[in-house]
Chain A
């Protein structure tokens, strides 16, 4: 092992039931370098972070820290070893002051009382070192995103970390905050600290990195010194998937426009316009956090629009609540089925009919009819369950997703919004969901599909809209729909 390596990972394997995430992953990090990691959604970036921060333990493989073999079995060990992870979401206590946040868990004491004076003066030193004008007494919740990120970095320094991992640190940053953060990081690297930097934003990567590692499907594809890397090469390495992974879907006849969005804004989405036709599936692509889910939410009235209009079947329609959307024959299969799709503690016959109640006449809901309706969708969607009285929490992920589908099929919808339709579902169940989607298209329904799964987007979509930072940046048809194009527009860069 060369002397200048601080961290080395060799042959890391990690799998979850049904999915192999890391299949012999290698990685090394030099002292005092900024090492950027690039990869598509789901390439294994977050698994890498979780292994290094002790949230996951690898199934096999070795990790060397400063030349010594280390087992990072939990987050505490990771921190003691000297690895500090700064997650995308803030992990600070918003109601406490900066110095209290910096010392939480490692408070300095004088006898049995807190040594406030020393904590404050040391906090001040570190903040000054970071060229920050934050005071130790400021309340963290009142700082902006950039300020909070600075406090998290300060906390890492205070604990004498030697490796700092930053996951998408600049989401929701202003341009000056980004510049400030990148300058701080460069300065820290010069002082000998090693930084792993994960970002979707190609311009940040090219501004800051010493080396860049590209991962795909849980494998390291390549590592470059920044001077040897071009944007073109970066994208080629990020894509390039085996064609046999692609699902072959059947065609459906595309008819008249049934859904039209004009200049929709709100909920973090800016000025989105598009149309969907009968029998057409439009894919919404983009990196995580690019505003795809937020768009789906305003289409369905789950969140409010601030401007713009929606027309359904040629009629201008005001979709202010999900109830409006359902009455207009829309439905929304959300990204997180457990949080927003299912009633986990309730049986299937209490889940499937619930959305249809607003569309059927009369105040009654006879259990017999509900059981019949539930049984109908169990048969139609081939849901594997011992009975209609099974509690939904005891079903597998794929079957739970089908319960969500059943709930919406029962409303007899025409416009389907799918957000990550196959997340956390194994391959067999995935194909079944695709088949169901194609059947919907053939029956003349329209589908808007938000997805992070590249093969899924490419195989299923008639048209792909790419989003970046809340705006639609590209509209791709037929032959233009390929990984390189989608990725190129998703991460920005200068090629537009």
Chain B
């Protein structure tokens, strides 16, 4: 059963190519810094310093949390463009209630959870009950949240001055230089949970089924409408958690705190191997995708690339990474095709 084993390998290694791309990028960053910037002195290579690594992880953890629920939504065939602006709205709203209204911070946190899930459920209701594209509905909500944000803040940021610090400023000290921040732990824990849900539960299988073929899923006894609603509810939960972590870390409700997050998140999810058309993707792929984009940004800074060129470079690298994973998945598909041609299948 040689072919049996090779096929198993193909199916088990769905994250392999993206993981290899990640390693290549890390190696390239180190080499470039080593030869061009630090004149061949490994002790000066800043990228591999524990402080920098902890910093990269912290920087990407918020995006990472958002990307997990986005992965669920995108595998099921949906999308949500409103997450960045929802974060701005929730974050500034929290800051307003804590600072200006002087509410209890944990009460505000609970209220944020309810509001986030509530708004996502409203959006989920519209998307699942009508035939309007999720793209358009969430674009509408993007604008609504942006309006809310500016109504709350009038365009100014609201600092919370040392309150609500637990989430963002708690660290796990592994060494004095290598401290893992709480959002990072949250990100990794949520990744494990989403991975488990997708792989070991009926819920997970249904995410793939709904994205793979909605009609067949409905005929197989899945209540597709309510299922989509559930996914947007989960998305609300994740956005609320990410917002709290971000607010707690920044110590201020900035009306731009989530600006452009949706692009960053969707890019990471797609780089991680989730199909825009749905039906395909997984939690660790997204994890690697988020990490990769974070490393690219960080490395471009360390190497000292002009910030304007960073956008160009980052975009080109994203396209390159997606192309590479696409080519390798095509190759895997053609391997199975050849196998079919060689074997007489009735």
Residues of A participating in the B interface, judged by any CB pair closer than 8 Å: 300, 302, 321-323, 326-327, 332, 334, 339-347, 350, 353-355, 357-358, 363-367, 384-387, 389-391, 394-396, 398-399, 407, 426, 428-429
- Interface positions of B from 61 to 109, Cβ below 8 Å from A: none
- Interface positions of B from 275 to 294, Cβ below 8 Å from A: 279-280
Residues of the B chain whose Cβ atoms lie less than 8 Å from the Cβ of A302: 218-219
Q: Is the Cβ of A389 less than 8 Å from the Cβ of B204?
A: no
A to B contact number (C-beta, < 8 Å): 115
Residues of the A chain whose Cβ atoms lie less than 8 Å from the Cβ of B213: 339-340, 342-344
**What 0/1 pattern do residues 310 to 331 of B give for CB contact below 8 A with A?**
0000000000000000000000
Task: Name which of B3, B199, B346 has the most chain A CB atoms within 10 A of its CB.
Answer: B346
Question: How distant is the Cα of A343 from the Cα of B216 in the complex, in angstroms?
Answer: 7
User: Quick one: closest B residue to A408, CB to CB?
Assistant: B220
Q: Is the Cβ of B216 less than 8 Å from the Cβ of A385?
A: no
In the assembled complex, 8 residue pairs joining A and B whose CB atoms fall closer than 8 Å, in A order, are A321-B223, A322-B219, A322-B220, A345-B212, A354-B206, A364-B200, A390-B336, A399-B345
**What 0/1 pattern do residues 328 to 346 of B give for CB contact below 8 A with A?**
0000010011011001111
Q: Is the Cβ of B215 less than 8 Å from the Cβ of A429?
A: no
User: Quick one: closest B residue to A411, CB to CB?
Assistant: B221
User: Quick one: closest B residue to A327, CB to CB?
Assistant: B221
- Interface positions of B from 205 to 228, Cβ below 8 Å from A: 205-206, 208-209, 212-213, 215-223
Residues of the A chain whose Cβ atoms lie less than 8 Å from the Cβ of B336: 390-391, 394
Task: Flag whether B7 is at the interface (Cβ < 8 A).
Answer: yes
Task: Flag whether B308 is at the interface (Cβ < 8 A).
Answer: no
Q: Is the Cβ of B7 less than 8 Å from the Cβ of A395?
A: no
Given A322-B219, A345-B212, A394-B340, do A363 and B8 touch, yes or no (CB 8 Å)?
no
Q: Is the Cβ of A384 less than 8 Å from the Cβ of B346?
A: yes
Which of the residues A321, A340, A398 comes within 8 Å of B346, measured between beta carbons?
Answer: A398
Given A340-B215, A367-B199, A394-B340, do A350 and B205 touch, yes or no (CB 8 Å)?
yes
Shortest Cβ gap from A49 to chain B (Å): 28
Q: Is the Cβ of A390 less than 8 Å from the Cβ of B7?
A: yes
Given A386-B3, A390-B336, A426-B346, do A346 and B202 touch, yes or no (CB 8 Å)?
no
Question: How distant is the Cα of A442 from the Cα of B137 in the complex, in angstroms?
Answer: 52
Which of the residues B200, B217, B279 comes within 8 Å of A366, measured between beta carbons?
Answer: B200
Q: Is the Cβ of A386 less than 8 Å from the Cβ of B280?
A: no
Residues of the A chain whose Cβ atoms lie less than 8 Å from the Cβ of B339: 386
Residues of the B chain whose Cβ atoms lie less than 8 Å from the Cβ of A327: 221
User: Quick one: closest B residue to A404, CB to CB?
Assistant: B216
Residues of the A chain whose Cβ atoms lie less than 8 Å from the Cβ of B8: 387, 389
Residues of B participating in the A interface, judged by any CB pair closer than 8 Å: 1, 3-4, 7-8, 10-11, 199-206, 208-209, 212-213, 215-223, 279-280, 333, 336-337, 339-340, 343-346
Residues of the B chain whose Cβ atoms lie less than 8 Å from the Cβ of A358: 220-222
Question: How distant is the Cα of A363 from the Cα of B206 in the complex, in angstroms?
Answer: 11
Shortest Cβ gap from A92 to chain B (Å): 22
Question: How distant is the Cα of A56 from the Cα of B202 in the complex, in angstroms?
Answer: 44
Q: Is the Cβ of A339 less than 8 Å from the Cβ of B215?
A: yes
User: Quick one: closest A residue to B278, CB to CB?
Assistant: A345
Q: Is the Cβ of B201 less than 8 Å from the Cβ of A355?
A: no
Given A357-B202, A398-B346, A428-B346, do A389 and B218 touch, yes or no (CB 8 Å)?
no
Shortest Cβ gap from A416 to chain B (Å): 14
Residues of the A chain whose Cβ atoms lie less than 8 Å from the Cβ of B1: 387
Residues of the A chain whose Cβ atoms lie less than 8 Å from the Cβ of B222: 323, 354, 358
Residues of the B chain whose Cβ atoms lie less than 8 Å from the Cβ of A428: 346
Q: Is the Cβ of A346 less than 8 Å from the Cβ of B208?
A: yes
Residues of the B chain whose Cβ atoms lie less than 8 Å from the Cβ of A326: 220-221
Question: How distant is the Cα of A384 from the Cα of B279 in the complex, in angstroms?
Answer: 24
Given A366-B200, A396-B345, do A386 and B219 touch, yes or no (CB 8 Å)?
no
Residues of the B chain whose Cβ atoms lie less than 8 Å from the Cβ of A350: 205, 208-209
Task: Name which of A334, A347, A390, A429 has the most chain B CB atoms within 10 A of its CB.
Answer: A390
Task: Name which of A343, A344, A358 has the most chain B CB atoms within 10 A of its CB.
Answer: A343
Question: How distant is the Cα of A431 from the Cα of B213 in the complex, in angstroms?
Answer: 29
Residues of the B chain whose Cβ atoms lie less than 8 Å from the Cβ of A363: 201-203
Residues of the B chain whose Cβ atoms lie less than 8 Å from the Cβ of A407: 220
Given A363-B201, A367-B200, do A322 and B221 touch, yes or no (CB 8 Å)?
yes
Q: Is the Cβ of B216 less than 8 Å from the Cβ of A342?
A: yes
Which of the residues A344, A365, A396 comes within 8 Å of B205, measured between beta carbons?
Answer: A365
Question: How distant is the Cα of A387 from the Cα of B343 in the complex, in angstroms?
Answer: 12
Residues of the B chain whose Cβ atoms lie less than 8 Å from the Cβ of A339: 213, 215-216
Question: What are the nearest 10 A-B pairs in CB distance?
Answer: A343-B212, A355-B220, A358-B221, A323-B221, A326-B221, A357-B202, A389-B11, A340-B215, A387-B4, A384-B345
Residues of the B chain whose Cβ atoms lie less than 8 Å from the Cβ of A385: 345
Q: Is the Cβ of A355 less than 8 Å from the Cβ of B346?
A: no
Q: Is the Cβ of A365 less than 8 Å from the Cβ of B280?
A: no
Shortest Cβ gap from A234 to chain B (Å): 38
Residues of the B chain whose Cβ atoms lie less than 8 Å from the Cβ of A367: 199-200
Question: How distant is the Cα of A305 from the Cα of B4 in the complex, in angstroms?
Answer: 47
Residues of the A chain whose Cβ atoms lie less than 8 Å from the Cβ of B212: 343-346
Task: Name which of B204, B206, B213, B220 has the most chain A CB atoms within 10 A of its CB.
Answer: B220
User: Quick one: closest B residue to A326, CB to CB?
Assistant: B221
Residues of the A chain whose Cβ atoms lie less than 8 Å from the Cβ of B219: 300, 302, 322, 332, 334, 340-341
Q: Is the Cβ of B208 less than 8 Å from the Cβ of A343?
A: yes
Shortest Cβ gap from B144 to chain A (Å): 29
Q: Is the Cβ of B11 less than 8 Å from the Cβ of A346?
A: no
Which of the residues B218, B223, B279 comes within 8 Å of A343, measured between beta carbons?
Answer: B279
User: Quick one: closest B residue to A402, CB to CB?
Assistant: B346
User: Quick one: closest A residue to B3, CB to CB?
Assistant: A386
16 additional A-B residue pairs with CB within 8 Å, beyond A384-B344, A399-B346: A323-B223, A339-B216, A340-B215, A340-B216, A344-B213, A345-B212, A346-B208, A346-B209, A354-B205, A357-B205, A386-B4, A387-B3, A389-B11, A396-B345, A398-B346, A428-B346
Q: Is the Cβ of A395 less than 8 Å from the Cβ of B345?
A: yes
Question: How distant is the Cα of A355 from the Cα of B218 in the complex, in angstroms?
Answer: 10
Question: How distant is the Cα of A389 from the Cα of B7 in the complex, in angstroms?
Answer: 7
Residues of the A chain whose Cβ atoms lie less than 8 Å from the Cβ of B4: 386-387
Q: Is the Cβ of A364 less than 8 Å from the Cβ of B337?
A: no
Question: How distant is the Cα of A235 from the Cα of B172 in the complex, in angstroms?
Answer: 85
Question: How distant is the Cα of A10 from the Cα of B333 in the complex, in angstroms?
Answer: 43
Shortest Cβ gap from B341 to chain A (Å): 10
Q: Is the Cβ of B346 less than 8 Å from the Cβ of A394?
A: no
Shortest Cβ gap from A408 to chain B (Å): 9
User: Quick one: closest B residue to A397, CB to CB?
Assistant: B346
Shortest Cβ gap from B250 to chain A (Å): 37
Question: How distant is the Cα of A394 from the Cα of B199 in the complex, in angstroms?
Answer: 23
Shortest Cβ gap from A343 to chain B (Å): 4
Q: Is the Cβ of B215 less than 8 Å from the Cβ of A355?
A: no
Shortest Cβ gap from A432 to chain B (Å): 8
Question: How distant is the Cα of A339 from the Cα of B343 in the complex, in angstroms?
Answer: 26
Question: How distant is the Cα of A321 from the Cα of B222 in the complex, in angstroms?
Answer: 9
